[in-house]
Amino acid sequence: MASRFKDVLNSGKFVITSEVAPPKGTNLEKVLHHIELLKDKVDAINVTDHQSSVMRFPSIGGCLAIKEKGGEPILQMTCRDRNRLALQAELLFASSRGINNVLCLTGDAVPVGDHKEAKGVFDLDSLQLLKTIRLMESGQDLGGNDLDGAVEFCAGATVTPGAQPLEPQLIKFEKKVEAGAEFFQTQGIYDLDNFGKFMEHARKFPVKILAGIILLSSARMAKYMTQNVPGIFVPQNLIDELTAVPKEEMLNRGIEIAGRMIAALKKDSICDGVHIMAIGKEEVVPDILAAAGL
């Protein structure tokens, strides 16, 4: 089964993806509402996989819900919680249910999450997972056995354009391209000049790059991210801009900033699209799109 998202990627249009987070529990009301809200406004919706190593309803469950509602899901798969048997099994299941897009991630470390004593698996890494997908498409599994019914995926990966040091990250980026990544959703970016430099390099490769846009919901959050989230740097002028408005206006200003960045990326065709992460504020993604003039 071909991926609708892949067609969009290849259409040359400015691609928009966003993401939803499954709940901790069986109450799906909120995530279903977010899916409803986003499914016709974006080209595909990522479903996070125990993001930040916090145990939640599974990504594949969220993807099925998107599928049922007629949306286009991107299955996020980390290597933290499953060995190669479980990862391959999940790919078979996803494929059989028409979930045709996968984002291959290493996964956050176990100790940052809420099950701090759990065993981190990391039997495969994100690169090996990409290769596994390509292998399974050829009708084989990692054990060298034939599959009765192969899979077909549009496979993606992530890259952190603001990583320090950058070169090891770029080397891994290239290895991911070689391993078969077709698209990249980047870690959140705020410094467009820096991102432009990364894009000059990335443009040399036959892959689509969707810039990660993380909504800044307050000045405090912006400062926190700059100080604590690896590879994220919010320039001081954006922090000042948020600080200058009254507290209740901050979210709106954040929406405006995100919209402005998306518009700038699109106008100068700096990258192939954006991946919007609203982190708990999925409600306002349509407002971000409106602010971007989309």
Partner 1 sequence: MKSITRQKPFEEIRQQLDSFNRVFIIGCGTCATMTKTGGIEQVMEMKSQLQGVDKLVSGWTVIPIACDEMSEVAMKENDRAIQNSNCALIMSCALGVHKISTYIDLPVIPALDTLFIGVEDTPGYFREVCAQCGQCIIGETAGICPITACHKGLVNGPCGGTNNGKCEVDKEKDCAWTLIYERLKAQKRLDLMRKYQPPHNFQASPRPRTVKIS
Structure-token pair, residue 36:
């409803």
Does 127 engage in binding with partner 1 (CB under 8 A)? yes
By beta-carbon proximity to partner 1, the closer residue of 3 and 126 is 126
By beta-carbon proximity to partner 1, the closer residue of 175 and 281 is 175
Task: Say if CB 154 and CB 103 are below 8 A apart.
Answer: no
Structure-token pair, residue 210:
């969707």
Q: What is the smallest separation between the CB atom of 18 and partner 1, expressed in angstroms?
A: 19
Does 84 engage in binding with partner 1 (CB under 8 A)? yes
By beta-carbon proximity to partner 1, the closer residue of 3 and 160 is 160
Structure-token pair, residue 290:
């409106």
String of contacts with partner 1 for each residue 37-76, x by CB under 8 A: ----------------------------------------
Q: What is the smallest separation between the CB atom of 191 and partner 1, expressed in angstroms?
A: 16
Structure-token pair, residue 235:
């320039």
Q: What is the smallest separation between the CB atom of 248 and partner 1, expressed in angstroms?
A: 33
Q: At what angle do helices 84-96 and 59-68 cross, to 10 degrees?
A: 10
Does 163 engage in binding with partner 1 (CB under 8 A)? yes
By beta-carbon proximity to partner 1, the closer residue of 139 and 168 is 168
Structure-token pair, residue 22:
């499954």
By beta-carbon proximity to partner 1, the closer residue of 34 and 172 is 172
Interacting residues with partner 1 between 170 and 209 (CB under 8 A) = 171-172, 174-175, 178-179, 187
For residue 186, CA distances in Å to 60, 156, 175 come to 21, 10, 16
Residue with tokens 């991102």: 195
Residues touching partner 1, count (CB under 8 A)? 36
Structure-token pair, residue 44:
């595909």
Q: How far apart are CA 222 and CA 218, in angstroms?
A: 6
Burial class (CB in 10 A: 0-12, 13-18, 19+), 145: exposed
For residue 17, CA distances in Å to 5, 186, 209, 268 come to 10, 12, 11, 19
String of contacts with partner 1 for each residue 94-123, x by CB under 8 A: ------------xxxx-xx-------x-xx
By beta-carbon proximity to partner 1, the closer residue of 127 and 271 is 127
| 208 SS3 class | strand
Structure-token pair, residue 67:
């599928």
Q: Which of 3, 48, 76, 158 binds partner 1 (CB under 8 A)?
A: 158
Q: Which of 61, 67, 118, 125 binds partner 1 (CB under 8 A)?
A: 125
Q: Do the bridges between strand 101-105 and strand 73-78 make them parallel or antiparallel, or are there none, so unpaired? A: parallel
List residues near partner 1 by CB under 8 A: 80, 84, 106-109, 111-112, 120, 122-128, 131, 142, 158-160, 163-165, 167-169, 171-172, 174-175, 178-179, 187, 230-231
